[in-house]
Amino acid sequence: MCGIVGYTGPREAYPIIIKGLKRLEYRGYDSTGVALQNGGLNVYKKKGKVAELEDSIIGKNLHSHIGIGHTRWATHGEPSDRNAHPHQSSSGQLAMIHNGIIENYNQLKQELINKGYTFSSDTDTEVLLNFIEEIKKNNDCSLEEAVRVALKRVTGAYVILLMSADDPETIIAARKGSPLVIGVGKGEHFLGSDASPMLEYTKEVVYVNDYELAIVKPDELVLKNLGNEKLTPYVQRLDIELAAIEKGGYEHFMLKEIFEQPQTVYDCLRGRLDAVEGTITMSGIQQYAEQIMNANRIVMVACGTSWHAGLVAEYIFEELCRINVEVEYASEFRYRNPVINKGDVIIAISQSGETADTLVAIENAKSNGAIILGVVNVVGSSIARMSHAGAYTHAGPEIGVASTKAFTAQLAVLTMIALKIGYMKGTITQKRYMNLLKELQEIPEKVAWTLKHSDNIKALAEKYKDAHDFLYLGRGYNFPVALEGALKLKEISYIHAEGYPAAEMKHGPIALVDENLPVVFVATKDSFHEKVVSNMQEIKARKGRVISVITEGDETSASLSEDVMVVPEADEILAPMLSVIPLQLLAYYIGLARGCDVDKPRNLAKSVTVE
Ligand code: AGP
């Protein structure tokens, strides 16, 4: 996700753009830039947040009545000055910003290289911009026509804003798969990823649709389709406030990110998983696939929620790849002088890619000859750069301190790696492999189903919000989910909660059980289900209050539970991506009911970059 802003009209463009970018920083913040036009193009861009860009260009020529600005969430090319947007074409005559992924950019880039083009960045954006310029030059056509022709060749998602050095008032915009809003003022127009950059100037907006092109001047907005047919812009009046927009209409970032999960899991699988062809394409892993396959040991190293993802991955890798897997808290692994053998594979799991314990743990392991794979969300982060290879989770910026969408994206990536390696190794049958690919492809829809059937959880939160303690129990793949559910509740509502393997209760913790103790079972239908049902009966017999995450239609578990939260049927290996969702919501709504700051819980930070 990136944030884009544009303006053309009588006002000074720069202040509007820079303020708009600050409002869009929740969409991405690893580099920023602006392009202004006053007799030529002035482009200012750098790695870092908007405020850093602002400080770096004080005193520069910022006068202009037209401009575009961008705050980046890197997908191609790590965060750096050279990869920051806006990009300029080879001639320097065009400047463009882009939000999205051009999936066939490599092919377009090769065509341009064959025509003598060179590139100053690693981005797909620069390729598209030069492709547009090449078409304009070759066909001797208008910029608008060149954009239309180019976009017909493009596959992937985009929203682009384009300016030319020889046109002091026109911004050309187009979208497919990424959001674009145009604010309609009096003799001026605003453009943005959402309405937050324009709300203080106008509440009259046009939402541009996929495959539409907008030619925007101060006093004219022309909307066309890629077939060059004029469309009538539908102007609507917004009646929402600024704060609500940044959260996409949700009350908190945490809730927004929970509900983003159908899309973020889909984004994680996109371009990698092909259930029809039976292929998993992970270029970042490919070159080490043999070493992973032949590894004697894989060590998952992480903290917190990412550690829980590693625990799920342990069960998946051992089941599918028959490779010994250990899961280590990074803070322990870095200090206890662990045995590291050459050829060991370390998988570092981290949303932020900046967790100090995880970073140092892999530095140590790397110096001892281990192969480091990073499963990271923030592109170009320290852990990503420290790793030999890896795969990004593409979950977009996770603003809420409690990790939610990053967790399910981590599971999706780790599952794809395990499937790939297991298939290469022959430790999984073709049939099971193909079935799991097909089921994995259906997970985004099943996540959406789970969210759609979660309406009762808010009432559950109201019912249990005053409990002093919670137990979370699960077996097998759902044991780490029990731990994750307990962590979510602790860090959001400040209620003490513990996760345990369900069978572990009789070794002590069952002494805690009485009529005041809510016990949450993660009890989806799997090969451990019968045993979990027995554990439920043990708790019920001691008057514990049983709340269960169950598979839709599981009457047995429902009959033993005071309250249930339902998920659809799924292979047990994939079930954690579903069974965690109700627990995320339960924690969110209990925290809310207790008046906690669910996006910024006390004592916590989003990224623990200190020991
Ligand atoms: C999870 O909700 C917490 N915010 C925390 O445990 C987090 O998972 C942990 O600090 C690891 O962070 P990372 O994934 O960015 O490395």
For 72-107, how does the pLDDT look when each residue is reduced to its tens digit (9 = 90+)? 887 777 788 999 999 999 999 999 999 988 989 999
Which numbered atom of ligand 1 lies nearest the CA of 608? 10
- Provide the pLDDT for residue 378: 82
Q: How confident is the model at residue 29 (pLDDT cuts 50, 70, 90)?
A: confident
Provide the CATH topology of domain 457-593: Rossmann fold (3.40.50)
Give how far Cα 267 sits from Cα of 532, 558, 577, Å: 33, 34, 14
Interval 233-250 mean pLDDT: 80
Q: Report whether 379 contacts 79 (CB < 8 A).
A: yes
pLDDT (tens digit per residue) in 39-62: 789 999 999 889 899 999 998 999
- Provide the pLDDT for residue 398: 87
Distance CA 509, CA 454 (A): 29
Distance CA 357, CA 333 (A): 9
Best probe residue, ligand 1, of 253, 257, 305 (max atoms within 8 Å of C-beta): 305
Which numbered atom of ligand 1 lies nearest the CA of 302? 16
- Provide the pLDDT for residue 609: 64
User: CB-side exposure of 27: number of CA atoms within 13 Å?
Assistant: 26
Ligand 1: residues with CB < 6 A are 303-306, 350-352, 355, 358, 401-403, 491, 607-608
- Position 124, amino acid: D
Task: Check pLDDT > 90 for residue 192.
Answer: yes
CA-nearest residue, atom 16 of ligand 1? 350
Q: Report whether 50 contacts 21 (CB < 8 A).
A: yes
Would you please indicate which residues are annotated as catalytic (active-site) residues? 2, 606
CA of 237 relative to ligand 1 center, distance in Å: 40
- Provide the pLDDT for residue 224: 97
pLDDT (tens digit per residue) in 466-514: 999 999 999 999 999 999 999 999 999 999 999 999 999 999 999 999 9
Instruction: Find, among 461, 396, 490, 449, the residue nearest to 577 by Cα.
Output: 449
Distance CA 51, CA 541 (A): 59
Give how far Cα 418 sits from Cα of 15, 289, 305, 379, 392, Å: 49, 10, 19, 22, 15
Provide the CATH topology of domain 3-244: Glutamine Phosphoribosylpyrophosphate, subunit 1, domain 1 (3.60.20)
Q: Where are the domains of the chain?
A: 3-244, 250-452, 457-593
Q: What is the mean pLDDT of the chain?
A: 94
pLDDT (tens digit per residue) in 275-334: 999 999 998 899 999 999 999 999 999 999 999 999 999 999 999 999 999 999 999 999
CA of 480 relative to ligand 1 center, distance in Å: 15
Domains 3-244 and 457-593 share a fold: no
Best probe residue, ligand 1, of 252, 351, 379, 383 (max atoms within 8 Å of C-beta): 351
pLDDT (tens digit per residue) in 574-596: 999 999 999 999 999 999 999 99
Distance CA 92, CA 516 (A): 70
pTM: 0.78
Q: Report whether 297 contacts 323 (CB < 8 A).
A: yes
Interval 430-444 mean pLDDT: 97
The CATH architecture of the domain made up of 250-452 is: 3-Layer(aba) Sandwich (3.40)
CA of 372 relative to ligand 1 center, distance in Å: 19
Interval 397-424 mean pLDDT: 96
Interval 518-536 mean pLDDT: 97
3-state class of 403 per DSSP? coil
DSSP designation for 9: S
Q: How confident is the model at residue 244 (pLDDT cuts 50, 70, 90)?
A: low
Q: How confident is the model at residue 116 (pLDDT cuts 50, 70, 90)?
A: very high
Give how far Cα 90 sits from Cα of 126, 171, 327, 422, 423, Å: 9, 19, 49, 45, 44
The DSSP bridge partners found for residue 99 are 159
Distance CA 401, CA 405 (A): 11
